[in-house]
Amino acid sequence: MHQQPKDTGYIIRGLITCIPIIAVLISACNSHTPAGGAQKTSTSTDSIWHAPDDNTIPAGKAGETIRYGRELIMHTARYFGPQGSIAKISNGMNCQNCHLTGGTKLFGNNFGVFMSSYPKISNRTGRVEPPSKRITDCFERSLAGQAPDTAGPEVRAMLAYLTWVGKNTSKGQKTFGAGATKLAFMNNAADPAKGRQVFVAKCKTCHGANGEGLPTADNKAYTYPPLWGKHSYNDGAGMYRLSNFAAFVKNNMPFGTTYKNPQLTDEEAWNVAAFVNSQPRPHRDQQTDWPDLKKKPIDAPFGPYADGFSEKQHKFGPFKPIKAAETALINQKL
């Protein structure tokens, strides 16, 4: 049976199950140690992130704004999709398709450490950017559309919600299961042909034989979002980077999976990422991204790069030699 996406439930179940299994989590941390050291690191002393309880949403206008922001993140297509009631500026996906349970799920691309990380410089633009830039980025890349007005009530409400979700986290705080997570690099390159087999066995039933997803009956949103094709995220999106995709599916797919009961091996996750991200999707010109090549992520799929490795190796791996070369360069300078 297909499971339907649920808006709530995870949070409560998550909180209840958290308590008795701290010991288990401490060992689980190790298997989630991020790849190569370039990413945020989790250690066994990190505290487990959990989303604030709904009853901490204030009463009155401020609370309404937070709830509106959450609604927009969960059901983005209703408001901004091809038949959106506010503007028709996106591909029909919801923010929640990738930021699971409204961006509150552990290891589900949650927003736990987002707001507390500001102010900061964006490596992708080389400039100090406001948090609203992340929202417009995801509209232009993940939702392959156009940016909404950042001074408008919708973006303001989303920011209010993001602030509320991250309200218990302080800048630089180490957390378990919040923000970006990564799998360890494989020795070899990810293999799209092997990934196709994973897709057919474990993804196709929901996401469709051609990765096209399944629209809702009224055709205004998706029951199962597309993985490729003209309605999917574009090649400038975070999910187009192999490490993001692999970690996301390992911890969350098939739908209903949590980091505690993964259905894929790391190798299957990397390979299915390579298969899906080899399929056609909208293109975005990214020539001005990552102006400082030394700060470009290892798996940024388009050159130029600061090193001599090929675009293909940067997209599919093997990543360990790239990482080793980067580390050697840093050590030389010290």
- Given the complex with ligand HEC, which of 64 and 129 has the nearer CB atom? 129
Q: Which residues contact 73 (CB under 8 A, 6 or more apart)?
A: 94, 95, 96, 99, 102, 103, 158, 161
- Residues numbered 266 to 295 that lie near ligand HEC (CB under 6 A) are 272, 276
Within residues 11-70, the interface with ligand HEC by CB under 6 A covers none
Cis? peptide before 215, omega within 30° of 0: no
Task: Tell me, by CB under 6 A, how many residues bind ligand HEC.
Answer: 50
Q: Note whether 162 and 69 are within 8 A (CB).
A: yes
Map the footprint of ligand HEC across residues 129-158, applying CB under 6 A: 134-135, 138-139, 142-143, 158
> Cβ closer to ligand HEC: 139 or 176?
139
Considering only 14-22, 34-42, 45-53, 105-113, which stretch makes contact with ligand HEC by CB under 6 A? 105-113
Assess contact for 249 and 273: CB atoms under 8 A. Answer: yes
Please name the residue ranges forming H helices in the chain: 10-18, 22-31, 60-74, 76-80, 100-103, 132-140, 153-165, 192-202, 204-207, 242-252, 266-276, 311-316, 320-333
Contacting residue, 42, 65, 96, 277, with ligand HEC by CB under 6 A: 96
Helix, strand or coil, per DSSP, at residue 26 = helix
**Of positions 234, 244, 271, 313, contacts ligand HEC by CB under 6 A:** 244
| CA 166/CA 161 separation, integer angstroms | 9
Among 35, 51, 77, 95, binds ligand HEC (CB under 6 A): 95
The Cα-based distances of 230 to 210, 235, 283 in angstroms read 11, 11, 10
**What is the contact mask toward ligand HEC in residues 154 to 173, using x (rule: CB under 6 A)?**
----x---x-----------
Closest CA to 276 of 250, 253, 245, 230: 245
**Angle in degrees, 0-180, between the axes of helices 153-165 and 132-140, rounded to the nearest 10:** 110
**Binders in 203-242 for ligand HEC, by CB under 6 A:** 203, 205-207, 224-227, 233, 237-239
Kindly tell me which of 181 and 313 has the beta carbon lying closer to ligand HEC: 181
Q: Decide whether 43 or 223 has the Cβ nearer to ligand HEC.
A: 223
- The closest residue (CB) to ligand HEC is 238
Which residues contribute to the site for ligand HEC (CB under 6 A)? Answer: 2-3, 5, 73, 76, 93-100, 109, 111, 113-114, 134-135, 138-139, 142-143, 158, 162, 179-180, 198, 202-203, 205-207, 224-227, 233, 237-239, 244, 248-249, 253-255, 264, 272, 276
